Amino acid sequence: MPGAAGSVLLCHRRRLVPTAASDPELLAADRAQAEYDEGPSVDVLKGTAAAFAADLRTAPAWPVWAPRAVELGWRTMLSLRLTSRAGHLLGVFTVAHTEPGVLGPAVAEHALTLATHLSVGLDTARIQENLRLAQDAQARVGQATGILMERFGLDADQAFRVLRRYSQDTHRKLHLVAEEVISNGGLPAAPAELGRSGWRV
């Protein structure tokens, strides 16, 4: 559709991050939403399933952002939630047009279909990234366990218990403790010292 454009903003720590747009002026409008904390995508972030403006020249809900969007050339805008399979907000998909009142029901239905496909793709990528991070963390824990076994003459169970206990007592994630062991060749306190302070291996 001539005059139309689309964009995606991703949700990171309850804030919107402009990520991609088919038109640089729409990306600029998205960045303005993030800057002003106002606009259709911000409304979606705050819980609205969808936000629509038939004419941004008459959009009292966004008194600061809407004039900026019009200045950038946009008159009509529809923003939709992108959600994970578990219902968590992943981001916002926006369709915009340079003319007012042209995003009718057929366009909205097509946009909803696109948003559904985008949600599946983003959720799959997120799951794969989490799996990769978990595998990397597991590998680091295994490497750190081996270092403690070799350095202090522990078996695998004893070395892992030292890592886990140190993680609990210092309130740090296990994989971060493992990274410290790998970097330093051991924990700040050797197993014998840990035993005197109430530790058991």
Residue 188's pLDDT band, with cuts at 50, 70 and 90, is: low
Assess whether 12 and 98 both reside in one domain.
yes
The range of the structural domain enclosing residue 56 comes to: 4-103
Residue 190's pLDDT band, with cuts at 50, 70 and 90, is: low
Assess whether 98 and 17 both reside in one domain.
yes
Assess whether 71 and 21 both reside in one domain.
yes
Assess whether 27 and 76 both reside in one domain.
yes
**pLDDT value, residue 196:** 44
How many angstroms separate the Cα of 55 from the Cα of each of 112, 134, 148, 162? 20, 47, 66, 63
* Strand, helix or coil for residue 162: helix
**pLDDT value, residue 198:** 44
CA 11 to chain centre: 5
Confirm whether 94 is domain-assigned: yes
Confirm whether 109 is domain-assigned: no
Residue 201's pLDDT band, with cuts at 50, 70 and 90, is: very low
Query: Which range, of 65-74, 81-90, 118-127, 173-182, averages the lowest pLDDT?
Result: 118-127
Assess whether 88 and 171 both reside in one domain.
no
The rounded distance, in Å, linking the Cα atoms of 148 and 58 is 67
Q: CATH no. for residue 11?
A: 3.30.450.40
Tokens 């097509």 sit on residue: 110
Q: Which of 172, 9, 162, 7 is nearest to 74 (CA)?
A: 7
Assess whether 98 and 11 both reside in one domain.
yes
The rounded distance, in Å, linking the Cα atoms of 115 and 133 is 27
**pLDDT value, residue 109:** 86
H-assigned helices in the chain: 24-36, 40-45, 65-71, 105-152, 156-170, 174-184, 191-196
Cα dihedral 67, 69, 72, 73 sign: negative
156-170 and 105-152 helices cross at what angle (nearest 10)? 120
Count: domains in the chain: 2
**pLDDT value, residue 193:** 46
Assess whether 162 and 88 both reside in one domain.
no
Assess whether 147 and 183 both reside in one domain.
yes
Q: CATH no. for residue 141?
A: 1.10.10.10
Other Cβ atoms less than 10 A from the Cβ of 155: the count is 11
Assess whether 80 and 38 both reside in one domain.
yes
Confirm whether 59 is domain-assigned: yes
How many angstroms separate the Cα of 30 from the Cα of each of 36, 66, 78, 104, 170? 10, 11, 12, 22, 41
Confirm whether 32 is domain-assigned: yes
Assess whether 25 and 66 both reside in one domain.
yes
Give φ, ψ of 61 to 5 degrees.
-65, -20
Assess whether 99 and 139 both reside in one domain.
no
